């Protein structure tokens, strides 16, 4: 009887405590993954062939692929552009978290609720991405989606977008789109806390990645913004400072500038400049010198025959994206690796005499 009583007690504990607790925890896990409330997310998948309007290479040698998707009743989750299909699946090949890296970082997978704040019945081109608030990432990774969309849709095939969805909050996004002939009236803003559902979403996958600008992207920028580029022989010598930035500043910049003083360099900060101002100055530049930063994206607009870019890179932060842009645009590139103060800011101490030697070598090369 003693053992029977213990068995009954164990059974009671198992069925009235242990199993309910386990089931409750499983429910919570499933609630996170599958969304039991308010437009539940039922999982994830890649896009299907029937959703693809076009697929093609993004590199001159055929490497890399870009895809254009046509999705009915799709939801665009927040300003970084998580794409949720009408069958409530997150599209992994069209929903990058940051700069094409790590779709699993999408908070759509862990949010308890995904309420839809707005519904737009039109055909909408999606120009979103977590990195879109940065000048480099917008120009190199997001804006070239226009090329993928415009070359594969038209009024004739009924796929031309009525408007474009972009993240709210930055002037350069709207300025670049206006330059491309897309007026503000055709732009819809999305914030970091809302989800928008559209009648038809035209979604181009991200061309390139964080450190690998694509041939498609660089060619697009040089072609689309050519009217803003100068045609005079390059003559400016630009030193681009980051003294007003939050990181990657040159702590001995006075010494570096002193070494360049007699070489005719202009000291420029790009803060507050329009996109057209930046394009014109860089297209007029014989050589550009300065620390790694988003402003160096404008090297894509430098003319062939110029002396290219001399970039300062802290040893604690080596990102070769501008080297890649120069290679794709057939521009000279040189990098001075510099000692870093460490920490999140990556401020650096640059060898001023090495800068001068590198500049003289560049400007004297080829006459």
Among 256-260, 282-286, 340-344, the least confident range: 340-344
184/254 same-domain check: no
In a 13 Å sphere around the CA of 65, the CA atoms on its Cβ side amount to 9
In a 13 Å sphere around the CA of 261, the CA atoms on its Cβ side amount to 7
Residue after which a domain boundary falls, among 157, 173, 208: 208
Q: How confident is the model at residue 1 (pLDDT cuts 50, 70, 90)?
A: very low
- Answer whether residue 9 is part of any domain: no
184/247 same-domain check: no
Whole-number mean pLDDT of the chain?
A: 86
- Answer whether residue 159 is part of any domain: yes
Domain total for the chain?
A: 2
pTM of the model: 0.86
- Answer whether residue 7 is part of any domain: no
116/243 same-domain check: no
Residue after which a domain boundary falls, among 182, 208, 234: 208
Query: According to the model, what pLDDT value does residue 23 have?
Result: 57
- Answer whether residue 24 is part of any domain: no
56/117 same-domain check: yes
Average pLDDT estimate for 291-299: 97
Residue after which a domain boundary falls, among 161, 182, 208: 208
Give the separation between CA 237 and CA 263, rounded to whole angstroms.
Answer: 8
Residues 195-224 have pLDDT tens digits of 999 999 999 986 566 668 999 999 999 999
143/250 same-domain check: no
Q: What is the CATH number of the domain that holds 311?
A: 3.40.50.2300
Query: According to the model, what pLDDT value does residue 217 have?
Result: 93
- Answer whether residue 341 is part of any domain: yes
Average pLDDT estimate for 158-182: 93
List the domain range (segments joined by +) for residue 300. Answer: 226-364
The yes-or-no verdict on residue 29 having pLDDT over 80 is no
Give the separation between CA 38 and CA 35, rounded to whole angstroms.
Answer: 8
Q: For residues 219 and 148, is the Cβ–Cβ distance under 8 A?
A: no
Residues 232-269 have pLDDT tens digits of 999 999 999 999 999 999 999 999 999 999 999 999 99
- Answer whether residue 213 is part of any domain: no
119/264 same-domain check: no
Segments of the chain assigned E as strands: 44-45, 52-57, 65-72, 75-77, 82-84, 90-91, 118-126, 163-167, 187-190, 195-204, 236-240, 266-268, 285-291, 309-314, 333-340, 348-349
151/246 same-domain check: no
Query: According to the model, what pLDDT value does residue 123 have?
Result: 96
Query: According to the model, what pLDDT value does residue 99 have?
Result: 47
148/289 same-domain check: no
Residues 34-54 have pLDDT tens digits of 443 445 678 889 999 999 999
Average pLDDT estimate for 312-334: 95
242/185 same-domain check: no
Task: Residue 277: name the closest of 310, 236, 327, 246 by CA.
Answer: 236
- Answer whether residue 221 is part of any domain: no
178/310 same-domain check: no
Average pLDDT estimate for 278-300: 98
200/259 same-domain check: no
Query: According to the model, what pLDDT value does residue 166 have?
Result: 95
Q: How confident is the model at residue 13 (pLDDT cuts 50, 70, 90)?
A: very low
Give the separation between CA 42 and CA 75, rounded to whole angstroms.
Answer: 14
- Answer whether residue 197 is part of any domain: yes
Query: According to the model, what pLDDT value does residue 3 have?
Result: 42
62/189 same-domain check: yes
């Amino acid at each position: 009887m003693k053992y029977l009583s213990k068995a009954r007690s164990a059974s009671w504990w198992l069925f009235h405590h242990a199993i309910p607790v386990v089931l409750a925890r499983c429910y919570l896990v499933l609630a996170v993954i599958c969304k039991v409330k308010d437009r539940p997310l039922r999982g994830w998948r890649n896009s299907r062939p029937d959703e693809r309007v076009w697929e093609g290479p993004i590199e001159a040698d055929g490497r890399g692929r870009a895809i254009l998707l046509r999705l009915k009743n799709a939801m665009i989750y927040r300003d970084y552009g998580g794409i949720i299909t009408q069958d409530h699946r997150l599209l992994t090949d069209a929903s990058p978290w940051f700069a094409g890296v790590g779709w699993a970082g999408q908070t759509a997978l862990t949010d308890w609720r995904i309420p839809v704040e707005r519904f737009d019945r039109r055909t909408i081109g999606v120009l979103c991405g977590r990195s879109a608030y940065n000048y480099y990432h917008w120009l190199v990774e997001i804006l070239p989606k226009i090329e993928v969309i415009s070359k594969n849709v038209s009024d004739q095939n009924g796929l031309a977008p009525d408007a474009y969805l972009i993240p709210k909050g930055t002037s350069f996004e709207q300025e670049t789109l206006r330059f491309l002939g897309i007026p503000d009236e055709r732009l819809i803003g999305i914030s970091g806390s809302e989800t928008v559902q559209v009648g038809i979403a035209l979604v181009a996958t991200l061309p390139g990645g964080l450190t690998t600008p694509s041939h498609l992207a660089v060619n697009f920028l040089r072609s689309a913004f050519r009217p803003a580029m100068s045609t005079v022989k390059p003559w400016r010598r630009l030193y681009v400072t980051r003294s007003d930035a939050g990181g990657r500043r040159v702590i001995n910049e006075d010494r570096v500038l002193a070494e360049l003083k007699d070489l005719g360099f202009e000291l420029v900060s790009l803060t507050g400049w329009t996109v057209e101002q930046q394009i014109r100055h860089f297209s007029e530049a014989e050589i550009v010198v300065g620390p790694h930063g988003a402003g160096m994206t404008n090297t894509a607009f430098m003319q062939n025959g110029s002396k290219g870019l001399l970039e300062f890179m802290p040893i604690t932060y080596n990102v070769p994206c501008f080297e890649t842009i120069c290679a794709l645009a057939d521009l000279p590139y040189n990098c001075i690796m510099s000692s870093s103060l460490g920490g999140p800011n990556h401020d650096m101490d640059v060898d001023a005499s090495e800068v001068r030697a590198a500049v003289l070598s560049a400007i004297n090369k080829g006459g």
